[in-house]
Structure 1
């Protein structure tokens, strides 16, 4: 039964006991006798109306009725305790996941898996509708990505889901922007302050992996309006709390009030995205059909991640063009799996429109050639699993997540178009055997490809062992709302 039903039933039991105890003090008062009888009748009718609660429920209810009707108050109290324990133990919590982009589902998936397997939960996945915005920040296209979720995830059409009447116990979201995103925007009924009206706990889990000492503490409205923001490190919690004065200015509130809220809401429970990375195998990350016979073991398959941040840092696409040229020159020994950020083109269209034609031309030329594949899959896991190494911007959460594979990571410096590394092959080989993370300009992309090509054992990563954050988050939130 739902928690609100259980609370109602327990209140009925308590009201009956209270009224019967009152009757012992005023049994000569006809008005009180009549009032107690009405209380008993009304509340017992509610208890009896719960017809699907099971045999044990019926047995304890009958026992409770007999002891009340025979005025065995002490016996009734004992039965009431057993009855209430049964009711509270029968609660099934409604837990609803409301992702908006299928490509960001990994930030919630392991929590959903934990809830879906938990007998205490009824878990639903309701992908929510959003709009792509034009350069004037006006809705240009209505989108719902429910068809892009994995086949093993049953999804519910948000237009058919009655949130206002269902009132789930917990809602999980990964979109924190509400009405402030400049590229996409969810429907207003899904803004965090609106969702909060219809659940007991609203939980925001970021769709990016925090990078200690690097990630930004920029305020996002769901951080304040949600009951909890799940972070993946103590550094994230500490630095976001320290940024409370900045948040307070944006909210127009007192520093101390916002800081107190952040201290209560921010909690380190790990990263569901890491859960996904360390669990990948050939079955869960099946190679896309169009990659077969192209992504082959004889070459160094490099995942090239192009982020929105690095384009804004570089203020041009020159580094992207130079990087693709390197792969074109090296195509006999290297192969690129290019994964531009899913919102990169929309962001250029909205915020850097002068680069849009150039980006489209780069994309057309790449698609017409044969030195790589474009990864536009909703999930980044195919690229992570089937690549041998990674190249991308240091502040990208994908850069951080790739480290957990144990395979080589080269961090890109987007302002340096042509990297000239003076490190010898032997020195670089020793470095890569010692650590799986190196940086430009100390190491160039071409250097990395050459050394990995000549030393195939460097392709083999060893995934970091990590506690399952999904189970941890699910247990924590259920304990928070336990009856």
Structure 2
């Protein structure tokens, strides 16, 4: 039964006990006796409405009623304790997941999987509506991606979900920006401070993987309004807490107030995105049909992730052109799975309109070529699983996540073009024994491709076994709920 129902039933039991004790004090007062009996009768009637809660519930209720009728206060108290414990143990928490982009569902999926199997939870997935913004940051297109979620995830139409009346116990979100995002924006009813009105615990799980020492601590409003922000490292927790003065300025609050809040909200419980990467297999990410016959073992299949950060840093597509030219000229040994950021076109239109035409030209030339495939899948995991190595900017969460495949990563230097690497094959092999991550300009794309092309062991990578973060997150939040219920 729902938590609020359980609380109501426990209150009924307590009210009956209080009435019985009051009855002993007013035995000679017919008016008070009648009032007390009515209280007992009304509360018992409420308890009766939940007789379908199970045989044990019915047995304890019948026993409790007998003690009441016989005015056995001590016996009623003992039965009441057993009854209330049974009610509390049968509580089921309503847990609602409110993702907005299907491509970012991996940030919540392992938590949902655990909650969906947990007998203490009723888990529901409600993909929420958002808007694509134009160059003036006004809503240009209304979007809901519920149809793009995996088939094994049952989803609810947000227009049909009555949040205000359902009042879930826990809500999980992965969009932290509320009204501040410059490219897309969720519907205002889903801003974190609005969601918080209708649940006991609002939990924000970032849709990007934190990169220690690199990721930005920039303020995101859900970090403050949510009850908990799940982080994936101690570095993330520490640096975000240290950024409290900046957050306080934005919020117009005292630094000490914000810092204390951040210290309570920020918790390192790992990353559901890592859970997803480790679980990848041919069964859950079958090769896309349009990749078959192209992504083949005789070549080095490189996932090339083009991020918003690197385009903002370079302000040109020179490096992208150079990289794609390499694959075109070396198609016998290398093949590219090109994955531009899903919001690249919208972001350029909104923030770098002078680059839109060039991007369109590059895209048209690429899709008409035969040296690579465009990865426009909502999920990045097809590219992660079927590629042999990764090439991308170090600030990207995909770069960080790819490390957990155990395959080789070459970190891109966006402004660096036409450089010549002076590394030797021996040095590269030695370095790869220590780490699967190397960077430009120490090593070039050609260096890495040449060393991987005949090495199946490097292509397969070393896989890791880590504790499931979804399990840790679900258990942590439920424990917090139970602790507060016991107060």
Q: CA deviation at 1:419?
A: 2.8
Contact 2:137 2:182 in 1 (8 A): yes
Contact 2:170 2:201 in 1 (8 A): yes
2:294 corresponds to 1:303: no
2:453 partner SS: helix
**How far apart, in 1, do the equivalents of 2:110 and 2:165 lie?**
27
**How far apart, in 1, do the equivalents of 2:394 and 2:305 lie?**
10
Aligned equivalent of 1:140: 140
2:477 corresponds to 1:477: yes
2:229 partner SS: strand
Q: CA deviation at 1:433?
A: 2.9
Contact 1:412 1:440 in 2 (8 A): yes
Aligned equivalent of 1:338: 338
Which structure 2 residues correspond to residues 429-468 of structure 1 after superposition, within 5 A? 429-468=429-468
2:361 corresponds to 1:375: no
Aligned equivalent of 1:264: 264
Contact 2:302 2:390 in 1 (8 A): yes
**How far apart, in 2, do the equivalents of 1:251 and 1:329 lie?**
53
Q: Cα deviations across residues 319-349 of structure 1 (Å, max 9, x unaligned)?
A: 1111111111111100000111111111001
Structure 2 vs 1, CA of residues 326 and 84 (structure 1 numbering), >3 Å: closer, same or farther? same
2:253 corresponds to 1:253: yes
2:327 corresponds to 1:321: no
1:222 partner SS: helix
Q: Cα deviations across residues 365-402 of structure 1 (Å, max 9, x unaligned)?
A: 00000100011111111000000000000010000000
Contact 1:337 1:375 in 2 (8 A): yes
Contact 1:433 1:458 in 2 (8 A): no
Aligned equivalent of 2:45: 45
**How far apart, in 1, do the equivalents of 2:246 and 2:307 lie?**
26
**How far apart, in 2, do the equivalents of 1:467 and 1:456 lie?**
28
Which structure 2 residues correspond to residues 11-160 of structure 1 after superposition, within 5 A? 11-160=11-160
Contact 1:97 1:125 in 2 (8 A): yes
**How far apart, in 2, do the equivalents of 1:375 and 1:8 lie?**
52
Contact 2:286 2:382 in 1 (8 A): yes
Aligned equivalent of 1:353: 353
Q: CA deviation at 1:167?
A: 0.7
Aligned equivalent of 1:276: 276
Q: Cα deviations across residues 6-39 of structure 1 (Å, max 9, x unaligned)?
A: 0000000001101111221222233322221121
Q: How many residues are treated as equivalent by the alignment?
A: 483
**How far apart, in 2, do the equivalents of 1:418 and 1:16 lie?**
83
Contact 1:27 1:33 in 2 (8 A): yes
Aligned equivalent of 2:192: 192
TM-score w.r.t. length of structure 2? 0.98
Contact 1:419 1:440 in 2 (8 A): no
Unaligned runs of 5+ in 2: none
Contact 2:51 2:57 in 1 (8 A): no
* Greater mean deviation of Cα atoms: 259-268 or 453-462: 453-462
Q: CA deviation at 1:89?
A: 1.2
**How far apart, in 1, do the equivalents of 2:84 and 2:304 lie?**
58
**How far apart, in 2, do the equivalents of 1:237 and 1:434 lie?**
27
**How far apart, in 2, do the equivalents of 1:343 and 1:88 lie?**
46
2:331 partner SS: coil
Aligned equivalent of 1:363: 363
Q: CA deviation at 1:90?
A: 1.2
Q: CA deviation at 1:465?
A: 1.5
Contact 1:348 1:355 in 2 (8 A): yes
Q: CA deviation at 1:317?
A: 0.9
**How far apart, in 2, do the equivalents of 1:340 and 1:258 lie?**
37
Q: CA deviation at 1:205?
A: 0.1
Q: CA deviation at 1:149?
A: 0.7
**How far apart, in 2, do the equivalents of 1:54 and 1:171 lie?**
28
**How far apart, in 2, do the equivalents of 1:14 and 1:138 lie?**
54
1:392 partner SS: strand
Contact 2:127 2:145 in 1 (8 A): yes
Aligned equivalent of 1:399: 399
Q: CA deviation at 1:52?
A: 2.2
Aligned equivalent of 1:217: 217
Structure 2 vs 1, CA of residues 76 and 297 (structure 1 numbering), >3 Å: closer, same or farther? same
Aligned equivalent of 1:183: 183
**How far apart, in 2, do the equivalents of 1:135 and 1:401 lie?**
31
**How far apart, in 2, do the equivalents of 1:348 and 1:430 lie?**
40
Contact 1:95 1:169 in 2 (8 A): yes
1:52 partner SS: helix
Q: CA deviation at 1:5?
A: 0.2
* Greater mean deviation of Cα atoms: 425-434 or 288-297: 425-434
Unaligned runs of 5+ in 1: none
1:151 partner SS: coil
Q: What is the aligned-residue RMSD (CA, Å)?
A: 0.9
Aligned equivalent of 2:202: 202
2:409 partner SS: strand
Aligned equivalent of 2:418: 418
2:267 partner SS: strand
**How far apart, in 1, do the equivalents of 2:231 and 2:442 lie?**
32
